[in-house]
């Protein structure tokens, strides 16, 4: 089985296409065969597609699973007694939720990879941290929502943590001001869910004409863009409003999904999302052929992390555009891309049809 520790010593955005391709193909071959042997539902999908998991293929040739499959079935490649944590996606009812089952190894690898990726922005030192959310969101330690899982995951970068919102999602002004005063000359790490930051933090500060002094801080945020796009809030507008209400200039969006927790795709200083040595992205046309650079299509995500469930190759319901590879002006290697939104009123079926 592929050992992710081989990659931990390598900077996450340092490998060029040819070097990364070999690592990805080795990892995905091992993971595909592992899940084929240990997850009967995944085995049925590959058999239905006449795919031979013993044959080495390019990453783009390995069958993807659509995100809705994790809502329809319990997909896991471990025994029930090995599950230490279950993460659910966002949804309006239990039937809308994806369930991701983690064993100790996968959970540990998620933390290792997240640490390497985020440290490229924050540095290796833990920082005072403000989470723009309520502590209630991480109340259940064994059964996390995607939001709670993100908070729990990113909190490893904080050495002293406060939550900026109370249980009713109202800003705790006094708590934040006291924290800012205590860490006046330090860099503070601010983290949160994009829509909550906008709706319950930025919007409230604008309406009350209040300013919170966080100019030395770094903000990392993700999720909830669909709602913001509906309200005509772009990435640039979001950044400008954060600067206006807090003074924060260093703002990094990240793209990720509960089905591939840990291997987030982080925004660079030029505003582009990047895949790391632990992940890859492919943009596909409606017929599932690969898009060329500059063409919009469905976002397929690849991750070397998932061992407890078959989530290593996933097709999302998001629309993206590949901008280039190894030549972003920020200097980071790997593919870089942007997200344009979600597929409207459509559920991508793809390989899930093979199961049915």
Over residues 48-60, the pLDDT tens digits come to 999 999 999 999 9
Could you write out the three-class secondary structure of the chain? CCCCHHHHCCCCCCCCHHHHHHHHHHHHHHHHHHHHHHCHHHHHHHHHCCCCCCCCCCHHHCCCEECCHHHHCCCCCCCHHHCCEEEECCCCCHHHCCEEEECHHHHHHHHHHHHHHHHHHHCCCCEEEEEECCHHHHCCCCEEEHHHHHHHHHHHHEEEEEECECCCCCECHHHHHHHHHHCCCCCCEEEEEHHHHHHHHHHHHHHHCCCCCCCCCEEEEECCHHHHHHCCCCHHHHHHHHHHHHCCCEEEEEECCHHHCCCCEEECCCCCEECCCCEEEEEECCCCCECCCCCEEEEEEEECCCCCCCCCEEEEEEEEEEEEECCCCCCCCCEEEEEEEECCCCCCCCCHHHHC
Q: pLDDT value at position 138?
A: 83
Pairwise CA distance, residues 68 & 72, whole Å = 6
**What's the whole-number average pLDDT of the chain?**
91
Q: pLDDT value at position 224?
A: 77
In the chain, the domains with their CATH numbers are: 5-82+272-355 (2.30.38.10), 110-255 (3.40.50)
Q: pLDDT value at position 16?
A: 96
63-121 pLDDT tens trace? 999 999 999 999 999 999 999 999 988 654 455 788 999 999 999 999 999 999 999 99
Pairwise CA distance, residues 88 & 257, whole Å = 10
Q: pLDDT value at position 144?
A: 63
Cross-strand bridge partners of residue 246: none
pTM as predicted: 0.91
Q: pLDDT value at position 187?
A: 96
Residue 229: which residues within 8 A CB-CB, separation 6 or more? 341
Residue 222: name the closest of 162, 269, 154, 270 by CA.
Answer: 154
Q: pLDDT value at position 354?
A: 36
Q: Is 168 exposed, middle or buried (0-12, 13-18, 19+ CB in 10 A)?
A: exposed
Q: Is 327 exposed, middle or buried (0-12, 13-18, 19+ CB in 10 A)?
A: exposed
Q: Which residue has the tokens 């783009």?
A: 60
Q: pLDDT value at position 73?
A: 94
Q: pLDDT value at position 140?
A: 63
Higher pLDDT, 347 or 155: 155
Pairwise CA distance, residues 285 & 287, whole Å = 5
């Amino acid at each position: 089985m592929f050992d992710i520790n081989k990659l931990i010593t390598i900077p996450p955005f340092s490998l060029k296409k040819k070097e990364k391709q070999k690592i990805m193909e080795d990892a995905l071959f091992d993971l595909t065969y592992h899940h084929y042997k240990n997850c009967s539902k995944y085995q049925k999908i590959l058999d239905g597609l006449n795919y031979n998991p013993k044959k080495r293929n390019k990453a783009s040739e390995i069958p993807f699973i659509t995100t809705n499959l994790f809502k329809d079935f319990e997909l896991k490649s471990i025994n029930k007694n090995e599950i230490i944590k279950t993460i659910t996606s966002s949804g309006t009812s239990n039937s809308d939720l994806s369930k991701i089952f983690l064993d100790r190894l996968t959970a540990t690898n998620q933390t290792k990879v997240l640490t390497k990726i985020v440290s490229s922005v924050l540095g290796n030192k833990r920082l005072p941290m403000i989470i723009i959310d309520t502590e209630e969101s991480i109340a259940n330690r064994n059964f996390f929502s995607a939001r709670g899982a993100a908070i729990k995951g990113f909190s490893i970068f904080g050495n002293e943590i406060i939550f900026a919102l109370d249980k009713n999602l109202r800003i705790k002004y006094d708590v934040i001001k006291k924290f800012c005063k205590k860490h006046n000359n330090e860099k503070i790490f601010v983290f949160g869910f994009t829509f909550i930051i906008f709706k319950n933090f930025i919007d409230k500060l604008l309406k009350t004409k209040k300013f919170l002094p966080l100019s030395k801080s770094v903000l990392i945020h993700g999720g909830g863009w669909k709602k913001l796009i509906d309200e005509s809030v772009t990435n640039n507008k979001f950044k400008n409003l954060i600067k206006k209400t807090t003074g924060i200039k260093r703002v990094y969006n990240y793209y990720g999904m509960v089905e591939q927790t840990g291997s987030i795709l982080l925004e660079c200083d030029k505003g582009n999302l990047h895949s790391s040595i632990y992940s890859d992205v492919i943009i596909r046309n409606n017929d599932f052929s690969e898009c060329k650079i500059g063409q919009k299509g469905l976002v397929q995500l690849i991750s070397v992390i998932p061992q407890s469930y078959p989530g290593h190759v996933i097709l999302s319901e998001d629309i993206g555009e590949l901008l280039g590879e190894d030549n972003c002006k920020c200097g980071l290697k790997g593919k870089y891309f942007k997200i344009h939104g979600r597929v409207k009123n459509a559920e991508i079926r793809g390989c899930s049809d093979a199961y049915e």
